[in-house]
Amino acid sequence: MLDVEVIRKDFPILDQIVNDEPLVYLDNAATTQKPLAVLETINRYYENDNANVHRGVHTLAERATASYETARETIRKFINAGSTKEVLFTRGTTTSLNWVARFAEEVLTEGDQVLISVMEHHSNIIPWQEACRKTGAELVYVYLKDGSLDMDDLRVKLTDRVKFVSIAHASNVLGVVNPIKEITQMAHQVGAIMVVDGAQSTPHMKIDVQDLDVDFFAFSGHKMAGPTGIGVLYGKEKYLEQMSPVEFGGEMIDFVYEQSASWKELPWKFEAGTPNMAGAIGLAAAVDYLEKIGMDAIEAHEQGLIAYVYPKLQAIEGLTIYGSQDLAQRSGVIAFNLGDLHPHDLATALDYEGVAVRAGHHCAQPLLQYLDVPATARASFYIYNTKADCDKLVDALQKTKEFFNGTF
Ligand SMILES: Cc1ncc(COP(=O)(O)O)c(C=O)c1O
Pocket test residue of 200, 202, 217, 331 for ligand 1, highest count of atoms within 8 A of CB:
200
Q: Give the pLDDT band of residue 404 (cuts 50, 70, 90).
A: confident
Residue 365 confidence class, pLDDT cut points 50, 70, 90:
very high
- CA-CA distance, 391 to 169, in Å (whole number)? 28
Determine the pLDDT at residue 408: 60
Is 390 an annotated catalytic residue? Answer: no
Q: What is the pLDDT of residues 317-351, one digit of tens each?
A: 999 999 999 999 999 999 999 999 999 999 999 99
DSSP string, 64-90: HHHHHHHHHHHHHHHHT-S-GGGEEEE
- CB of 197 closer than 6 A to ligand 1? yes
Q: Ligand 1 mean position to 153 CA, how many Å?
A: 25
286: pLDDT strictly greater than 70: yes
- Cβ neighbours for 299, distance < 8 A, ≥ 6 positions apart: 204, 205, 206
Would you say the CB of residue 92 lies under 6 angstroms from ligand 1? yes
Q: What is the mean pLDDT of residues 216-233?
A: 98
**pLDDT exceeds 80 at position 406:** no
* Per-residue pLDDT at 179 exceeds 80: yes
Distance (Å) from CA 228 to ligand 1 centroid: 12
Residue 259 has pLDDT above 90, yes or no: yes
Query: What confidence score (pLDDT) does residue 55 get?
Result: 80
CA-CA-CA-CA dihedral for 247, 248, 250, 252, to nearest 10: 80
Average pLDDT value for the chain: 97
How many whole angstroms from 56 Cα to the centroid of ligand 1?
34
In the reported structure, the alpha carbon of residue 220 is separated from the centroid of ligand 1 by a whole-number distance in angstroms of 7
pLDDT at 5: 96
C-alpha 332/C-alpha 382 separation (Å) is 7
Q: Rounded CA gap, 325 and 310, in Å?
A: 9
Radius of gyration over every alpha carbon of the chain, rounded to an integer in angstroms = 22
Residue 94 in contact with ligand 1 by CB distance below 6 A: yes
Q: pLDDT > 90: what percent of the chain? A: 97
Q: Residue 202: pLDDT band by 50, 70, 90 thresholds?
A: very high
> CA 8, CA 14: separation in Å to the nearest integer?
7
Active-site residue identified among 61, 297, 363, 373: 363
Residue among 261, 280, 279, 259 nearest 269 (CA): 261
* pLDDT for the residue 245: 97
Ligand 1 pocket member 49 (CB < 6 A): no
pLDDT at 38 (0 to 100): 98
* The three-state (H, E, C) secondary structure of 16-55, written as one string: CEECCEECEECECCCCCCCCHHHHHHHHHHHHHHCCCCCC
- Contact between 288 and 71 under an 8 Å Cβ cutoff? The reply is no
Q: How many CB atoms lie within 10 A of CB 366?
A: 16
